[in-house]
Structure 1
């Protein structure tokens, strides 16, 4: 089939955008292959003189060995024709895009430009005539299809063309592409990530691409987004792989959670690159997952960097290991990587005088973190001799370094190490022994006055843990140290409650309450009044709620309770009366504020105060003898009923004298009996036992037992005690006190109390269980009750509780 020149020219023009069609030269008939009827790209002439497309004639000949010779003249003519027409198409495209034309026309132009981009010659021409800025301007159009086609045209234009990439960076194309990565439309997102991938293939442009705000984070998001299109995920991954060539980009990737490039360079890279990666890693604020991943992959390499002599490498490795050790799941990984011997050497042995950093402080911090992770120190070996962090060697050296008054940061970590060791029984004994031997207590007390809150708080916490073993030593040291214990009192004055204030109050509670020297020193510095003011502020809601408020409140209450252990001292007794501690503890034991520990402490305080009531209760004033009339000396003096009632009201039925809550600390007058009985039902065994201990003071030999039993029986104490025995059979201390109370009721409580006790069906089995399974004191108490109930033969036995 043959085509005329006119027909072929028309068919060619129809395939081009309409704005350019009128300028295009017509196609000549000789341009067309007689076999394919299409314009030839590589015309060849066969032996007969016919010119055809090379591929077509080869296919036609198939395996026939025919020699083909190129028609160079025709080929050159065709190339020149194509060049002239492509130049015209580029110019027409620029003219069209410069004008406000319809969307369809612009799309046709963009399609033609995409075809033209197959030739590097056309790319150069397009850049020279200024098409790049025009294409970038199209990225701001409202039409999404237009934006996508413009982005695709730009991608093809810069493909394997460095000058085009440079020119595109002078426009807003890259910023727009990054912004479009978060588009909801798949086509726009794909076009943008494809454009960025093409840009990233130029190594010299990688840093500029990474500097675009949000570029790398968005690519990371696309790569790890399971809902993204597979091609988008693949292209985002390829772009990130290209951007890894720039170390700055690797740092940005690590900051945004993509750590593998950094770790790959840190582990396998050359020395200078490893140094750079270590410096980047040192500055990162790592999340918990990142810490675990780095510990798993690079802990061994970091330890080797630390052992090197390079100061910068050591610093980077130490700071990174410090971060890793702060995450508990990473600690076991670090220990398995043999970190402990290196840290022990850094702390106790190694010293580099010209090194700008103090490696000992960081190594102590790392060791403290490892201990705080909860790993048994007996399993943490620090040298080839098999010594562990719970060994005498390690603990003694730690105490020695504290005694030498090292820098604040190092001392804080050393104290933290001892705090953690106190959590383990065997290590606890060795730590107490080492602290005593090194006389470290006074150094710890000196830390209480330092300006570093962390060191001060750590010292307080360690002293709290040491107080059960050497409480009097600590108390004496406080009284002899400059600025103490008034420094602790000042901490109680703070309006903003922090961990330091909480620990200061707790320390005052944990130290021996009977230490008179400390109590008097606290009293002289206003400790009691400050504690009361703090309690009242919290009750009124004047302090901001923090996680430390509860512990601080408990410490304030405990500080006042400690004074009740030394009421034999006149100054302490005067303070207790002035501050009306009985009224305060009665209010707190009723649950007015605080929690379980506050109620327990308040009950303990009421017990101590009540033991002084019998001694402080005043005898009734003697009645004045009225003058007898002359004419009636034998007539008896008759008092009116109201006068008799007033005289009876003045006498306490328990203490046989005149009582009041503030002056004699009488529980009956203070109304404390009922809230104490209510505490018998408390879920906390310690609260119930402390409340019963306070009630026991009303049945003690120093008071009128019959009167105390009557007061308690009237408020249902017998039923409360029997109920406690039934429901709390596993709590030995509470059972022992319950037995003692029942024995007192049976002895002096009257027939009604006796009947109530004898009528309890479960009591006999509880008592027999105590006789057969309890210790000697429990067995003796149970036998006394059984004898008084006539359950076993009566033998004269007295029990002293």
Structure 2
């Protein structure tokens, strides 16, 4: 039989006994829910503010027990449990055991905010910037058990509806500076620090990251990736690397610490079916962007030589939406370098019958291409997968794939690249993007079609299918898309060059 809330109105010794019973009982979720519905929370919060330390401890332990049910956690926050708990946690004279129980309870409350139904009024654990910094400051002043609970609490809050506010204020509280050294520790403190650091580096500005990241930090993250048995910790460490600014210094540190083959290993051999597999692959593909920057052909070459490009093409087919986007972005960067690296086709001299068989000429770059030497999308078999990605519903991933494909028609490659796109059935897919809801993507499509349709062959073959969406854009588009659509329609002899759309 569960205790009734009204029992807490009795003498002090009875209150203590009942609170202790509630703290130590094995309760079902139904029991926990019913107790709060019966009003036990108010009585327990009164005991939390009691002068007697033992009374505080049993009351907090009871709250900890009840708060493991997310529904209860949200109700506790609504009914004012956070303030008294923070006061106990931040009061340096509170016994260590009490602070550990309070921290665990706060963690449960934070976890409850990450499980909210979006259709309901949203609840935030910490309402003020002062409370956010106040709670985070405890990490530097307490023992590992409390540190771990607070780190987990902030990680949960970074998954909640108030995540943007929490992350912004943690940045103001110099959280990155606190978390980076914690990543050098072992055990649960390190794991939770890395997970929270991953969340923060998604949004923090480059200057803040660069201020606290060193070669030692990179070495630490790679060591975690290499040695940890916690898949979420590995994914988070990879996420921090993915979120780091794409600067030459960072790339140099990663290469110097053998980060490239380590990251690639996860892309080539990931058979994991763990709950964090998608996050791990997404972050690994994101981390690859450090090595694909066309301003650093040396790092591109090292990446291509160990088999990175085929791995990216593979994840275009198998990955999540974010993985496909990241893979397409890296492939686009590699492709930017291809024309300059394509080897000129050698002139043949002497008796042809005694010459070795000629090497195939790349249909786009008109030279000798390989994946390893010129990072060629055609040689890598990436064109058809990129065309399929154009059909994704997520416009960001469509745009990333389009960017990669458009590298094939840049400058002098317009004619040869257009033929390759046509053979891969890319042009109808590009035309379909005229009808998307993103003006930026529409404008990019229009500029590419304007170039493609300068060629009579493609104007005749695809112009008719583009007419209706182009006419629609002249009616409904913004000033830029209206003008570009009208210009293409003039190419197609649908509008006169003197049209008012220009």
Distance (Å, rounded) in 1 between the aligned partners of 2:130 and 2:307: 52
Residues 560 and 617 (structure 1), Cα distance of their counterparts in 2 relative to 1, 3 Å cut: same
Structure-1 residue corresponding to 2:235: 502
Aligned partners of 1:390 and 1:421 also within 8 Å: no
1:407 aligns with 2:148: no
Residues 716 and 574 (structure 1), Cα distance of their counterparts in 2 relative to 1, 3 Å cut: closer
1:536 aligns with 2:241: no
TM-aligned CA deviation for residue 682 of structure 1: 3.1
TM-aligned CA deviation for residue 548 of structure 1: 1.4
Q: Quick one: which of 444, 461, 484 aligns to 2:196?
A: 461
1:766 aligns with 2:469: yes
Residues 287 and 455 (structure 1), Cα distance of their counterparts in 2 relative to 1, 3 Å cut: farther
SS of residue in 2 equivalent to 1:562: coil
Aligned residues: 496
Structure-2 residue corresponding to 1:10: none
Which consecutive residues of structure 1, in runs of 5 or more, have no partner in the other structure? Answer: 1-257, 382-387, 627-638
Distance (Å, rounded) in 1 between the aligned partners of 2:7 and 2:159: 38
Distance (Å, rounded) in 1 between the aligned partners of 2:66 and 2:330: 47
Q: List per-residue Cα deviations over 1:121-146 (Å, max 9, x = no partner).
A: xxxxxxxxxxxxxxxxxxxxxxxxxx
Q: Quick one: which of 21, 27, 33 aligns to 1:292?
A: 33
Structure-1 residue corresponding to 2:344: 619
Residues 572 and 795 (structure 1), Cα distance of their counterparts in 2 relative to 1, 3 Å cut: farther
TM-aligned CA deviation for residue 722 of structure 1: 2.6
TM-aligned CA deviation for residue 419 of structure 1: 4.4
1:446-457 matched pairs, under 5 angstroms: 446-453=181-188, 456-457=191-192
TM-aligned CA deviation for residue 642 of structure 1: 10
Distance (Å, rounded) in 1 between the aligned partners of 2:313 and 2:94: 63
Distance (Å, rounded) in 1 between the aligned partners of 2:265 and 2:379: 24
1:473 aligns with 2:183: no
Aligned partners of 2:157 and 2:166 also within 8 Å: no
TM score, norm. by length of structure 2: 0.87
Aligned partners of 2:116 and 2:122 also within 8 Å: no
Distance (Å, rounded) in 2 between the aligned partners of 1:426 and 1:783: 45
Distance (Å, rounded) in 2 between the aligned partners of 1:487 and 1:779: 52
Structure-1 residue corresponding to 2:70: 328
Q: List per-residue Cα deviations over 1:482-519 (Å, max 9, x = no partner).
A: 4x21222223335855221122222222333x222222
The higher relative CO (CA closer than 8 Å, separation ≥ 6) is in 2
Q: Quick one: which of 699, 722, 739 aligns to 2:446?
A: 739
Structure-1 residue corresponding to 2:320: 595
Aligned partners of 1:488 and 1:504 also within 8 Å: yes
TM-aligned CA deviation for residue 613 of structure 1: 0.4
Distance (Å, rounded) in 2 between the aligned partners of 1:421 and 1:429: 10
SS of residue in 2 equivalent to 1:568: coil
TM-aligned CA deviation for residue 339 of structure 1: 1.8
SS of residue in 2 equivalent to 1:456: helix
Residues 415 and 355 (structure 1), Cα distance of their counterparts in 2 relative to 1, 3 Å cut: closer
SS of residue in 2 equivalent to 1:604: helix
Distance (Å, rounded) in 1 between the aligned partners of 2:165 and 2:104: 27
1:138-217 matched pairs, under 5 angstroms: none
SS of residue in 1 equivalent to 2:402: helix
Q: List per-residue Cα deviations over 1:568-608 (Å, max 9, x = no partner).
A: 3354133123213222222332x2x4333333222222111
Distance (Å, rounded) in 2 between the aligned partners of 1:291 and 1:284: 10
Structure-1 residue corresponding to 2:305: 578
Structure-1 residue corresponding to 2:85: 343
Supply the RMSD in Å over aligned alpha carbons.
3.4
Which consecutive residues of structure 2, in runs of 5 or more, have no partner in the other structure? Answer: none
Q: List per-residue Cα deviations over 1:56-114 (Å, max 9, x = no partner).
A: xxxxxxxxxxxxxxxxxxxxxxxxxxxxxxxxxxxxxxxxxxxxxxxxxxxxxxxxxxx
Residues 604 and 570 (structure 1), Cα distance of their counterparts in 2 relative to 1, 3 Å cut: closer
Aligned partners of 1:772 and 1:779 also within 8 Å: yes
Q: Quick one: which of 45, 48, 53 aligns to 1:311?
A: 53
Aligned partners of 2:331 and 2:404 also within 8 Å: yes
Structure-2 residue corresponding to 1:691: 401
TM-aligned CA deviation for residue 302 of structure 1: 0.9
Aligned partners of 1:318 and 1:362 also within 8 Å: no
Structure-2 residue corresponding to 1:707: 416
1:563 aligns with 2:305: no
Residues 442 and 264 (structure 1), Cα distance of their counterparts in 2 relative to 1, 3 Å cut: closer
Structure-2 residue corresponding to 1:608: 333
